[in-house]
Each structure stands twice: as C-alpha cells, then as structure tokens.
C-alpha cells in the first residue's frame, strides 16, 4: 500500500486517539507492527500560536516513521498555516485532517466532524492545507455524515480526491451516533467504489479476525485500529499474522501484560516527567490490568498509587510472582 510517496509495509494502522496516541503508546504499537501511527489530534490554532504543550504533542522520533500528524480547525487560513508549521518544524510523513471528531466542544467551534454539515467549507479547508504543504501527502479522517439523514461521505470522497487528498479514512458512523450503534461497513465499500485513492476502513474492529473481515467485505486498502489496541499493542502483531496467512500467536500471558504495562509507564515517565506521566498512566492501567486472578485489586492499587515509586513497586512485585499463563480476555 502507498499513500502519496509513502510506502506502507503493513496496511494495519493505529488510529489517532485524543489522550492516548502519544509518543509512548505509538512506540509500543509500532514495535508490534502497526504500519502507520498517528498523533493525537492537534489544534491548528495552538500550532500557529506555537503553544509549547501543543507542539509537544507533535514531536516524534525516527522509530515512529511513517507517522501522520492529525490537525483540526475551522478556518482554511489557520489550517494552512498550521500545516506549514508542522511540515517545517517536524517533517512528518503524512498530514491528516480531522473531519471525524464528534465531541461537542470541538464541533461547536465548527471543527472536527462539523465540517460534514458544510462540504464547501470542507473543500476550502482541504484545498488550503494541500496547497500549503505540496511536498507532503495530505489525508482525511472523516465520519459518514452529521446524522442519518445527511450521509455525505460518498459525495465528499470524489471532491476530496479531486482537491488532492491522497487517502481517506472513513469511520462509518454519524456524528450524532458518537460511538454508539453499529458501524455501517457498507459505507466504506461504497466510498471505495467512487474513488481511486486508498480508502482506510475504521470502526467496530474488536478482534484480529475483524481486520480480515473488513478487508473482505469492503475492499478497503487498509484498516485503522482504535479502541481494540487500548492496553493491547499485541493486536497489530496478531492481526498481521492473520493477514499474512499465519495462525494467531499465543495470547499475551499475565507476565507479558505486566511487562508491557511497566514499559509503557517507563516511556511516559521518560517523555512527560513524573507528575504528568503518572497521571496519564492511570487510565492505561484500567486497560492493561484485567483478565487474571487479582487483577481488580492490583488495578485499584495502581490507579490510586501516589507516585511513580508506588506504581513501579506494585508492578515489580507482580512480575516477580506472576506465572506465565495465558491471558483470557474479559
């Protein structure tokens, strides 16, 4: 698979997720075989103001390539300026435009999936970004429409391709659905039939077998994984094995899960410092620590731990006593 001039060895991608796909998580997923990783969505206004916290969300390492930086905003000129700053300061492989976020605090400002209500604005924003960074492939991640009465993805796809977008990731739910109800994969298939650029399917990928099923049912060029990867970077390794015709590798043992959790904590501490790193890690504990005897007690202890020393002690103690047993999902 190729997006513009970017060659992608494995067509299984890590979706951009706010508060999740930072450096630490991207590294783990990349090591497990993710073909492309994406940053959290980053505010175009924050970028052009050169807000330090915003710019920190964009920084990445060579190990993470190919990487896409996702930006969001409501004004063509601001989005164009932001894309140019990202290209000049960081030189990612891909710049992605967020037309998919359904969160009201984003859509009320006219950003994210609010663009689905005004395809002319979507055209203007997209064209401004494409023209601003001619040396980089620009992609789009979008929802199918604002609500069930206004499904616009099939109309928007050819328009975006004509403007110069190099790939479209479609989450086939509406903004109003948020993450409820079923993702209608048939909309991915319909989009694939009306564009010649790569189409990336996203939504309701819960187990590795779903990756194969999405390819077969939609004809998409790649699949983007979101919530299934939370606390489970192994998902990419498992899905890649199936895609290559191999059998599923053994499920991670309790020892594997605690080891990965500890590494994730170390990466967060290294990149964000103790105060921010420990606070960010608390939600990850809820995703990693489950499915084995004593998991609930350990998880509660980790979430309420006061500092890094308490967290690392708890994890190290568990590692020293854990048996390498198969992890059974719950």
230-255 pLDDT, tens per residue? 999 999 999 999 999 998 999 899 99
Say yes or no: 155 and 88 in one domain.
Answer: yes
Any alpha helices (H) in the chain, and if so which ranges? 23-31, 44-48, 52-56, 76-90, 104-107, 119-132, 153-163, 185-194, 208-218, 234-243, 254-288, 295-303, 308-321
Evaluate if residue 209 carries a pLDDT over 80: yes
Share of the chain above pLDDT 70, in %: 97
Taking the alpha carbons at both ends of the chain, their separation in whole angstroms is 34
Of the two residues 167 and 250, the one the predictor is more confident about is 167
On whether both 271 and 227 belong to a single domain, the answer is no
Whether 94 shows a pLDDT value over 80: the answer reads yes
Same domain as 189, residue 91: yes
Share in percent of the chain as helix, strand, coil (round to 5): 50, 15, 35
Decide if 79 is inside a domain.
yes
Residues 130 and 268 in one domain: no
Question: What per-residue confidence (pLDDT) applies to 24?
Answer: 97
**Residue labelled with tokens 């498992």:** 238
Separation of alpha carbons 82 and 72, rounded Å: 9
Confidence band of 325 (pLDDT split at 50, 70, 90): very low
Q: How confident is the model at residue 327 (pLDDT cuts 50, 70, 90)?
A: very low
Active site residue 261: no
For residue 286, being part of any structural domain is answered with: yes
User: What gap in Å lies between CA 178 and CA 173, rounded to an integer?
Assistant: 7
> Within a domain: residue 327?
no
Q: b or e along 47-63 (b: 16 or more beta carbons within 10 Å of the residue's beta carbon)?
A: bbeeeeebbebbebeee
Which residue in 29, 101, 220, 261 is the catalytic one?
101
pLDDT at 326 over 80: no
Give whole-number Cα distances, 73 to 39, 101, 284, in Å: 15, 11, 28
**Domain match, 52 and 106 both:** yes
Measure Cα distances from 125 to 44, 184, 317 in Å: 12, 27, 52
**43 part of a folded domain:** yes
Are both 69 and 154 inside the same structural domain? yes
Domain boundary among 187, 218, 243: 243
Please, what is the Cα angle at 257 between 255 and 262, to 5 degrees?
95
Residues 188 and 83 in one domain: yes
CATH number, residue 285: 1.10.1200
Query: Do 224 and 273 have their domain in common?
Result: no
ω into residue 192 within 30 of 0, thus cis? no
In a domain, 111, yes or no: yes
Residue 328 counted as domain residue: no
Domain count within the chain: 2
Could you tell me if 236 and 316 lie in one domain? no
Residue with tokens 């698979």: 1
Which domain covers residue 306, as residue numbers?
A: 254-321
| pLDDT, tens digit (0-9, with 9 covering 90-100), for 57-79 | 999 999 999 999 999 999 999 99
29 close to 229: Cβ distance less than 8 angstroms: yes
Question: Does residue 326 lie in a domain region?
Answer: no
Asked if 36 and 95 count as a contact pair (C-beta separation under 8 A), the reply is no
Q: Is residue 249 part of a domain?
A: no
The arithmetic mean of pLDDT across residues 305-326, rounded, is 82
| Mean pLDDT, all residues of the chain | 93
Of 215, 243, 271, which marks where a domain is finished? 243
Q: What is the pLDDT of residue 133?
A: 98
Q: Are residue 239 and residue 260 in the same domain, yes or no? A: no
Q: What is the pLDDT of residues 3-23, one digit of tens each?
A: 999 999 999 999 999 999 999
Asked if 90 and 120 sit in the same domain, the reply is yes
Q: Given 198, 217, 243, which residue is the final one in a domain?
A: 243
Handedness of CA 9, 10, 12, 15 (dihedral sign): negative
Same domain, 26 and 76: yes
CB neighbour list of residue 184: distance below 8 Å, 6 or more residues apart:
144, 172, 173
Q: Residue 49, SS3?
A: coil
């Amino acid at each position: 698979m190729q997006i513009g001039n970017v060659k992608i060895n494995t067509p299984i991608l890590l979706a951009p997720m706010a508060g999740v796909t930072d450096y630490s998580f991207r590294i783990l997923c990349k090591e497990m075989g993710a073909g492309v990783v994406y940053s959290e969505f980053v505010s175009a206004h924050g970028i052009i103001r050169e807000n330090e916290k915003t710019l920190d969300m964009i920084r990445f390492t060579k190990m993470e390539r190919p990487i896409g930086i996702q930006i969001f905003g409501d004004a063509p000129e601001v989005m164009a300026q932001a894309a140019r700053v990202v290209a000049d300061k960081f030189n990612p492989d891909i710049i992605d435009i967020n037309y998919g976020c359904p969160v009201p605090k984003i859509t009320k400002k006219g950003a994210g999936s609010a663009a689905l209500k005004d395809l002319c604005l979507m055209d203007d924003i997209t064209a401004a970004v494409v023209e601003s960074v001619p040396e980089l492939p620009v992609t789009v991640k979008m929802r199918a429409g604002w609500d069930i009465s206004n499904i616009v993805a099939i109309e928007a796809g050819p328009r975006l391709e004509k403007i110069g977008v190099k790939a479209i990731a479609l989450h086939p739910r509406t903004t109003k659905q948020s993450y409820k109800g079923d993702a209608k994969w048939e909309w991915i298939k319909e989009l694939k039939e009306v564009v010649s650029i790569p189409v990336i399917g996203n939504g309701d990928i819960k187990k590795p077998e779903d990756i194969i099923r999405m390819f077969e049912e939609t004809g998409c060029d790649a699949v983007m994984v979101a919530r299934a990867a939370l606390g489970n970077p192994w998902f990419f390794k498992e899905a890649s094995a199936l895609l290559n015709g191999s059998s599923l590798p053994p499920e991670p043992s309790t020892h594997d899960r605690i080891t990965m959790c500890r590494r994730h904590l170390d990466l967060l501490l290294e990149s964000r410092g103790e105060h921010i790193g420990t606070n960010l890690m608390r939600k990850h504990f809820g995703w990693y620590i489950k499915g084995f005897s004593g998991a609930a007690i350990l998880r509660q202890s980790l979430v309420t731990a006061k500092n890094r020393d308490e967290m690392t002690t708890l994890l190290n103690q568990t590692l020293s006593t854990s048996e390498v047993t198969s992890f059974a999902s719950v």
